[in-house]
Chains A and B, each alone.
Chain A
Amino acid sequence: MRKEMLKDILQAFGPAGNEEIVSGVIAEYIRPYCDSVYNDAMGNLICCKKGTSGKKIMLSAHMDQIGFIVVDIDEKGFLRIANVGGILPALSVGREVAFANGVHGVIYFETPKTRDASAQAALPNMYVDIGCSTKEQAEEKVQVGDMCVYVTNMVDMGNRIASGAMDNRVCCAVIVEAMMALQSPHDVYAVFTVQEEVGLRGAAAAAYAIDPDFNINLDVTLTGDTPKMPAMSVALGDGPAIKMMDSSVIVPMSVRKFMIECAEQAKIPYQREVLRAGGTDTAVIQKVKDGILAGCISIPCRYVHTPTEVVDMADVDGAVALICEMVAKEQLPGA
């Protein structure tokens, strides 16, 4: 994985519903490796590399991230906010945020008697301070309806990397990297979907338009390898996870078998993932038209939906290799 590219994709602005900037960053990287690149009406970025078999494979990863939306600006210039996707309020207090236009601010909460009270922080008593003293000043910088996201560095710890946007930009970077390398007899569509974090919205529209023979979705998954985590057999560094089931989807047996065989043939370490709580675009893609066979590669990720999501580069590189192996196969999974 090219770390500079990963960093650019991680740090591009793109909360659910406002994905134009991150879409542009990904498009720049992927364009030289595709026959066509365009955005659909919802904002999904759809990139196609033509093949000769007449069959279509869709690779997909959501490019939106969780964030906040301004719902009100008060007389003192404080911004009141609501969540865009699954924000953890207490972990947002004391964090820096940025808007699409480059305005930065910090998040805090009302009148804490002690700093320990941050556990009581909830969105209705939280606000963003953008350094203004009046409503008028603030409105010159930010409007009600504008969105902001965590500002986080890409923390490079060597084999492992942290960022507030790992979910799901790491998977976007995996697909870009795979598109640079892959050889396939089929049309390969790389689709970077919008609005996953607010209800798996963009993927269904893109899948309807493309109507692929097979979909490989990519997303992060939870791990059971940190202190006192509930039992889960997925761990960082043991390889990309092949999804069996999560709360939203059951991966068809034919697809699981195909993915596991590909990993074993290419000697790519892999894990089998059963996720107790959490959903992915895979679920809505399966339900399009008369059904689309879909599977999911999950990148194990610690501290999901916090500003410090951590992944292991071995899993990332394994996912790229697994995609290349799968799309090269003449025979795709059937019923």
Chain B
Amino acid sequence: MNMLQAITDLITTPGVTGAEHAVGEVVKQYFSAYTQDIWQDKFGNVYGRIGEAQGPEIMVMAHMDEIGLMVTGIEDNGMLRMINVGGVDPRVLPGSEVLVLGEKPLPGVIGAIPPHLTGGQTGNAYKIEDLVCDIGYDAEKARELVHEGDYVTFAPKAPLQLCNGYVSSKTMDDRALVAMMLECMEMLSKRKLKCSVVFCASVQEERSGLGGRIGAYSVHPDMAIAVDVCHGPTPGVRPFEAAPMDKVVLTKGSNIHEKLFGMLQASAREQNIATDLEIAAGHTGTDAWEIQVQRGGIPSAIVSPPLRYMHTSVETIRMETLRNCAKVIAGMIGNIDENWEAALCLDD
């Protein structure tokens, strides 16, 4: 499996939160290389199951929705007003190329007042309400092709390959981890398992966690691993807020089942993969938050690769770290045996 090709195919398919259908089709296509047991729920989560019918069921979830924008109105000069869907950083929007998903896809740009005309007032960052999207049409034509509620996404392009195995693109959060799940499926498909594994590409993580919630309710797994990005070091970010780009990050905190965490850590150790810790006192900002409290409670954990420039169009990751995330999860799942229930039992 060529993980970079998978990332490219996933990233160049639009799937803003609430409209993940197209990217879901790409996921199904990739899942079909490893299993025929594929299904989709009414909100668009895509599931693929591998492994044995005996033993526990483990769910691995990466969200496939991406942050983006939605049209709120069309000005009399044909410009589109927008609102963010998920945590788009409005500071990086001016100067962006976008795709407006109207009656047909329309290229657009998000402009800003030229520095010559600001009267020296350039210090303040733009707010989303101040920005407009220009598709070139006048109001009459724009209103024919674009409506309130239509999505706007960052222009889909293949990832930029930086030096040293670093790759940069929009939507690495969290499509890179969807590709990582494929790598993990490939590793596990060569092993004899004593459990079944449901891989889920979930919807709506960037807003409500709806996909994680209904996915966990409907699958009702014995344990769950959410895979999502965490922050890599950049200038101005304090050391304890970020993890080195070459380490697989495991989260600790109230959202995380201690024993499941330990099983992942053991797997990393067995394979000599360097890990780092992220400490989350409460909400982890991942699907694991909703998963943990479904049904009677589901032991949950999080595996992350560090990522720089989160929620921009240049989200940057290191491919080797992504591969190591897959190895840690595959190793942990491969280690599961008949004693899984005892292994999960919390100490008195």
Q: Do A and B come from one complex?
A: yes
A243-285 interface bits toward B, Cβ cutoff 8 Å, 1 = contact, 0 = none: 0110011111100100000000000000111101000000100
Q: How would you classify the secondary structure of chain B's contact residues: helix, strand, loop or mixed?
A: mixed
Complex contacts, A276 vs chain B, CB 8 Å: 72, 83, 129
How far does the alpha carbon of A230 sit from the alpha carbon of B73 in the complex, in Å?
11
Residue on B with the closest CB to A242?
B149
How far does the alpha carbon of A128 sit from the alpha carbon of B26 in the complex, in Å?
61
Complex contacts, A330 vs chain B, CB 8 Å: none
Tell me, yes or no, whether A286 is within 8 Å of chain B by CB. yes
How far does the alpha carbon of A260 sit from the alpha carbon of B44 in the complex, in Å?
20
Tell me, yes or no, whether B175 is within 8 Å of chain A by CB. no
Tell me, yes or no, whether B3 is within 8 Å of chain A by CB. no
| B148→A273 contact, CB < 8 A | yes
Q: Of the 9-residue stretches B162-170, B207-215, B243-251, B327-335, which lies at the interface with chain A?
A: B207-215
Residues of B178-216 whose CB lies within 8 A of A: 204, 207-208, 210, 213-214
Q: Of the 9-residue stretches B17-25, B28-36, B265-273, which lies at the interface with chain A?
A: B17-25
Given A244-B149, A272-B147, A276-B83, A289 and B217 touching (CB < 8 A)? yes
| B83→A290 contact, CB < 8 A | no
Complex contacts, B217 vs chain A, CB 8 Å: 289-291
| B208→A274 contact, CB < 8 A | no
| A335→B41 contact, CB < 8 A | yes
Given A250-B18, A272-B148, A287-B213, A231 and B73 touching (CB < 8 A)? yes
| B43→A291 contact, CB < 8 A | yes
Complex contacts, B13 vs chain A, CB 8 Å: none
Number of residues from A at the complex interface, CB < 8 A: 28
How far does the alpha carbon of A244 sit from the alpha carbon of B41 in the complex, in Å?
20
How far does the alpha carbon of A293 sit from the alpha carbon of B42 in the complex, in Å?
7
| B129→A335 contact, CB < 8 A | no
| A231→B17 contact, CB < 8 A | no
The residue in A245, A250, A286 that gathers the most chain B C-beta atoms within 10 A of its C-beta is A250
| A231→B129 contact, CB < 8 A | yes
Tell me, yes or no, whether B85 is within 8 Å of chain A by CB. yes
Complex contacts, A334 vs chain B, CB 8 Å: 42
| B207→A250 contact, CB < 8 A | yes
How far does the alpha carbon of A244 sit from the alpha carbon of B72 in the complex, in Å?
10
Complex contacts, A155 vs chain B, CB 8 Å: none
Tell me, yes or no, whether A133 is within 8 Å of chain B by CB. no
How far does the alpha carbon of A335 sit from the alpha carbon of B210 in the complex, in Å?
15
Tell me, yes or no, whether B70 is within 8 Å of chain A by CB. yes
How far does the alpha carbon of A252 sit from the alpha carbon of B20 in the complex, in Å?
10
How far does the alpha carbon of A5 sit from the alpha carbon of B19 in the complex, in Å?
40
Tell me, yes or no, whether B40 is within 8 Å of chain A by CB. yes
Complex contacts, A293 vs chain B, CB 8 Å: 42-43
Tell me, yes or no, whether B54 is within 8 Å of chain A by CB. no
| A291→B72 contact, CB < 8 A | no
Given A231-B129, A256-B149, A274 and B71 touching (CB < 8 A)? yes
How far does the alpha carbon of A214 sit from the alpha carbon of B70 in the complex, in Å?
24
Q: Chain B nearest CB: distance from A170 CB in Å?
A: 22
Residue on A with the closest CB to B73?
A233
How far does the alpha carbon of A334 sit from the alpha carbon of B85 in the complex, in Å?
23
Complex contacts, A230 vs chain B, CB 8 Å: 129
How far does the alpha carbon of A225 sit from the alpha carbon of B213 in the complex, in Å?
38
| A274→B42 contact, CB < 8 A | no
Q: Chain B nearest CB: distance from A135 CB in Å?
A: 43
Complex contacts, A335 vs chain B, CB 8 Å: 40-44
Q: Chain A nearest CB: distance from B56 CB in Å?
A: 20
Complex contacts, A233 vs chain B, CB 8 Å: 72-74, 148
Residue on A with the closest CB to B216?
A290
Tell me, yes or no, whether A328 is within 8 Å of chain B by CB. no
| A253→B19 contact, CB < 8 A | yes
Tell me, yes or no, whether A210 is within 8 Å of chain B by CB. no
Residue on A with the closest CB to B84?
A276
| A290→B70 contact, CB < 8 A | no
| A272→B149 contact, CB < 8 A | yes
Tell me, yes or no, whether A21 is within 8 Å of chain B by CB. no
How far does the alpha carbon of A287 sit from the alpha carbon of B148 in the complex, in Å?
24
Complex contacts, A253 vs chain B, CB 8 Å: 18-19, 21
Known A244-B148, A245-B70, A291-B210; 7 more pairs at CB < 8 Å: A231-B129, A250-B207, A252-B18, A290-B214, A293-B42, A335-B42, A335-B44
Can you list 25 pairs linking A and B with CB atoms under 8 Å apart?
A231-B73, A232-B73, A233-B72, A233-B73, A244-B148, A245-B18, A245-B149, A249-B208, A250-B18, A250-B204, A252-B42, A256-B149, A272-B148, A274-B71, A276-B72, A276-B129, A287-B210, A289-B217, A290-B217, A291-B42, A291-B210, A291-B217, A335-B41, A335-B42, A335-B44
